Amino acid sequence: LSKKVEMTNWEKGHYINYAKMSENLGIVRSRLNRPLTYAEKILYSHLDDPEGQDIERGTSYLKLRPDRVACQDATAQMAIMQFMSAGMPSVATPTTVHCDHLIEAQIGGVKDLERAKGINKEVYDFLSTSCAKYNIGFWKPGSGIIHQIILENYAFPGGLMIGTDSHTPNGGGLGMAAIGVGGADAVDVMANLPWELKAPKVIGVKLTGQMSGWTSPKDIILKVAGILTVKGGTGAIIEYHGPGTEGLSCTGMGTICNMGAEIGATTSVFPFNDRMYDYLAATKRSAIGDFARDYAKELREDEGAEYDQLVEINLSELEPHINGPFTPDLATPISKWKQAVKDNKWPDDLKVGLIGSCTNSSYEDMSRAASIAEDAMSHGVKANAIFTVTPGSEQIRATIARDGQLKTFEEFGGMVLANACGPCIGQWDRQDVKKGEPNSIISSYNRNFTGRNDANPATHSFVTSPDLVVAMTIAGTLNFNPLTDTLKDKDGKEFMLKPPTGDGLPSKGYDPGEDTFQAPPEDRSSVSVAVSPTSDRLQLLSPFKAWDGKDAVDLPILIKAQGKTTTDHISMAGPWLKYRGHLDNISNNMLIGAINADNGEANKIKNFTTGEYGAVPAVARDYKAKGIQWVVVGDWNYGEGSSREHAALEPRHLGGLAIITRSFARIHETNLKKQGMLPLTFTNPEDYDKIEPEDKIDLLCTELAVGKSFPMRVHKKSGETLEIPLSHTFNEGQIEWFKHGSALNMMAKKNA
């Protein structure tokens, strides 16, 4: 295991460390003394402190050292801005950035890409120069979708990666634990802080039998989603195992892991097998495949490993599935499909079929889909609905262009879109139906929540395999089952579509296509990061001020929020996402969704200095301009929802000192600490009721200490003063974050 094998062909000097992983596992094994699942092996072999770490699935918080970080272009903006403010010369963990989310599908790949390069120029320039400066691999617009590029170039068996995108788990197709996180977590790992994860439970999915005919790997996850539902995987890793895994292609396993995000799973993994080896070899990484074979014993579950829950699927009996509309866990097997369309009155006229996306755009997917299109064309019929194709990467596009599938799709009536997310993330200038008009579309994507693809809440979006997308597109109606129904050929004669066929890997090897990678230059010192001071989308971050060493007295309550206050209430998404790289501009959405306990209204609070009512961000800005720090009082589970770091950055930016709640969602609580704020909770949750919006608060910051209650004095308008005990969860290291003004300030000082 002491071989020196590089993690990827695109970087020098970053080696796969199976020796260290094996050593860590040995330590953990001797402590736990029980068989381990594969998911556990990957995590525990990446522990920061294998000797001292508490390990209990579902309970302890693991401190981990991931091998890699990957960011897509939307989330990378703020992550890199934050990293820059740490003042480090280079990322501490190998990192890549991928431009895929900002390209709108309109008239076809080439033109759409050109237009996106113009519209997003300042974002791309910033990302490309900051990546060059801080030693980050940069994949330009047009290179492909992050998860496909990761599978093709960076994922390796047994590795641990975090990515700022929910479908990062796609890397599980190569036996990697690839986990989707918020930007703040990515910044930590880039800046060499250990990454914290609640030790996941492990749900085993045992596969037996073998697939055939119209059934494809996608149907495994469509079925699993139906069984476990959108919440069923929360806090757990889904671990596939059993003899049925051997027959699946590597990219097919990627598809299954990718869509595990739809059931809330932390990630999904497959054990290392020969199909992964073949894929590594086909993508010019045989050395990694050979090295993985040396370590193969640890790249699967131990004999007798126990799962917290076990699901079994016999692939020989698995039917093709179609899931949706509006939720990915409403799973219908094809045998019940036509009846379901009828019973639910789903619009049966199919408007659009879409294949590709990070979930289903492999060579195998494209080949199988093309085989169906060809079969149809041999009978003189083509697509009977709009049909779009999104290749997952430039390599896939170039390879299917060379091997003919792309031409088949075009002849079939398809529009080939840019190698990017496109309609999957709503980047779709859809013209064929009006807003509000009920209609059906079917895709090989993963998510189908209301409005996701085209912002039309009446669009019924179904997800399935690319095979069924093509079959349905030929039929032009949802009222079709290719396994049992006939179609009419050009002369009106009936025929049945043949089940799809296609190679898992290109027999002539992959064609890399255009070079879309920008490696960091040797000499990075002369690179300057491009951010225009007049940009409204990007703004460099200045480090937050350190704590002044004093108690804070007489602080106003900006807002006493009542009821649910999720990260969406604190930092709304939608149109605001445009400003995600510009902290000052996006701060104009701070807490605008939170309900003011005083008047039951959103975004209407009293400015105590003027007595006038105003919007929350405006009042906060006024206080900030007047040098007045403030606090927010919140209800139960404040900050639940996503891990969006803006929800913690914004209050800090606009001059907040503390958020005092009945309880916090843990990730948001940690994010607040990272930004140098004080997340505090009422020791007696009913004390929330004693607080009135016009009270003034003293926070005795000088008394902040691990495990000790935090004293708060409340000055009532009547002149009365209350002492209300608060609790906190700061540890020693986190108190240092507060003192330095933020976790990054502390890292910056350490690295200075």
Catalytic residue numbers read: 100-101, 165, 447, 642, 644
Q: Rank residues 83 and 445 by Cβ distance to ligand F3S and give the closer one.
A: 445
Binding site for ligand F3S (CB under 6 A): 100, 145-147, 165, 167, 357-358, 421, 424-425, 446
CA–CA distance, 403 with 241 (Å, rounded to integer): 33
Q: What is the dihedral of CA 595, 600, 603, 605, to 10 degrees?
A: -110
Q: Rank residues 576 and 613 by Cβ distance to ligand F3S and give the closer one.
A: 576
Strand partners of residue 581:
538
The helix (H) or strand (E) run that includes residue 147 is helix 146-153
Smallest separation (angstroms) from ligand F3S to the CB of 73: 10
Smallest separation (angstroms) from ligand F3S to the CB of 390: 7
Smallest separation (angstroms) from ligand F3S to the CB of 442: 15
Q: Tell me the two tokens of residue 501.
A: 């066929």
Residue whose entry in the numeric block shows the structure tokens 């000052």: 584
Smallest separation (angstroms) from ligand F3S to the CB of 303: 36
Q: Tell me the two tokens of residue 156.
A: 């390796």
Q: Tell me the two tokens of residue 158.
A: 């047994």
CA–CA distance, 408 with 392 (Å, rounded to integer): 17
- DSSP symbols for 500-536: P---SS-TT-----S--EEPPPS--TT------TT-S
Q: Rank residues 74 and 400 by Cβ distance to ligand F3S and give the closer one.
A: 74
CA–CA distance, 722 with 14 (Å, rounded to integer): 57
Q: Rank residues 42 and 421 by Cβ distance to ligand F3S and give the closer one.
A: 421
Smallest separation (angstroms) from ligand F3S to the CB of 131: 19
Helix ranges restricted to H, 571-717:
583-586, 616-625, 646-653, 666-674
- DSSP symbols for 686-729: GGGGG--TT-EEEE-GGG--TTS-EEEEEE-TTS-EEEEEEE--
Q: Rank residues 78 and 591 by Cβ distance to ligand F3S and give the closer one.
A: 78
- Residue 647's nearest CA partner among 562, 579, 567 is 567
CA–CA distance, 742 with 375 (Å, rounded to integer): 61
Max distance between CA atoms of the chain, in angstroms, equals 91
Smallest separation (angstroms) from ligand F3S to the CB of 424: 3
Smallest separation (angstroms) from ligand F3S to the CB of 392: 8
Secondary structure of 99-128 in HEC code, one letter for each residue:
CCCCCCECCCHHHHHHHHHHHCHHHHHHHH
Smallest separation (angstroms) from ligand F3S to the CB of 445: 6
Which residues, in sequence order, are CB contacts of 707 under 8 Å at separation 6+? none
Q: Rank residues 75 and 681 by Cβ distance to ligand F3S and give the closer one.
A: 75
Which residues, in sequence order, are CB contacts of 124 under 8 Å at separation 6+? 73, 99, 117, 140, 141
Long-range Cβ contact pairs of 407-411 (< 8 A, separation 24 or more) = 408/370, 408/373, 408/374, 408/377, 409/369, 409/370, 409/373, 411/373, 411/377, 411/382
Which residues, in sequence order, are CB contacts of 522 under 8 Å at separation 6+? none
Q: Rank residues 358 and 369 by Cβ distance to ligand F3S and give the closer one.
A: 358
Q: Rank residues 165 and 185 by Cβ distance to ligand F3S and give the closer one.
A: 165
Cβ count near 158 (within 10 Å): 28
